[in-house]
Structures are given as structure tokens and as C-alpha cells.
Amino acid sequence: MSLYQRYFAALMRLADGAQERHYGERKERLFDSIAPGDRVVEIGPGTGVNLAHLPPGVRYVGVEPNPHMHAPLRRKADALAPRAPASAPTEGKKYSPGWKYSWGAPRAPARGR
């Protein structure tokens, strides 16, 4: 985990509000075709700025390689699914109202076989 990753995550958290003000309406229109039950895979969800634009019931998977983004991403996902348990989300865990989410860095393939 580099110092750059830590600073970049902090900068993105600070920019969340400005990004929402600037792109919020456009995201609403772009994500309008996503329906409950649809599968959404987001590569590099950062701090989770797109989560609020997804409808309840979406099966969401976010792959975020920067571990410093995971905490704000978890907080946003938990805020949108208030009945979720307080424990850290893991692959395949389902949340009310139908959210399924996961994140983490992709694993490197095993070598030598």
C-alpha cells in the first residue's frame, strides 16, 4: 500500500460532493435503464459515488484495487442498505433490500504450474 494510494483515496473522498453536484443528473439519466435484479459490475468504484444512483435490488459487484477506498465504499453501501449487518461485507453476502456487493483487489494467478 503506497502513500500515493492513501492520498488519492483521501482526495477522492473530498471530491465526492463536487462530483455529485457536477455529474449527478447525468448519472441519473445514464443509470435509468438499470432495473432491480440487474447485475452491475463496476471496475474501480473508488469511494462509491455511483452507488446512490443504482436502484434497490441491483446485484452489485465492485472491484477496487486501492484498499484505502474500501472503508468509504463500505460506509456508502451500508448507508444504502441500512438493515445490513455491521460486519465487513464479503463476496456473495446478500443485504436488504436485495443488494449484493463485494470489492477487493484481483488476485494474481498462481505461478509455476
Domain boundaries, the chain: 3-100
pTM of the model: 0.65
Q: What nine digits make up the cell of 18?
A: 463536487
Amino acid 82: pLDDT: 52
Question: pLDDT digit of tens for each residue in the chain (113 aa)?
Answer: 688 888 888 888 888 888 889 888 999 999 999 998 899 999 999 899 999 899 888 888 888 889 988 988 888 888 887 543 334 444 444 433 334 455 444 444 455 54
| Closest among 82, 17, 86 to 47, alpha carbons compared | 17
CA pair distance 96, 62, nearest whole angstrom: 17
Produce one character per residue of 79-91: b if its CB has 16 or more CB atoms within 10 Å, e if not: ebbeebeeeebee
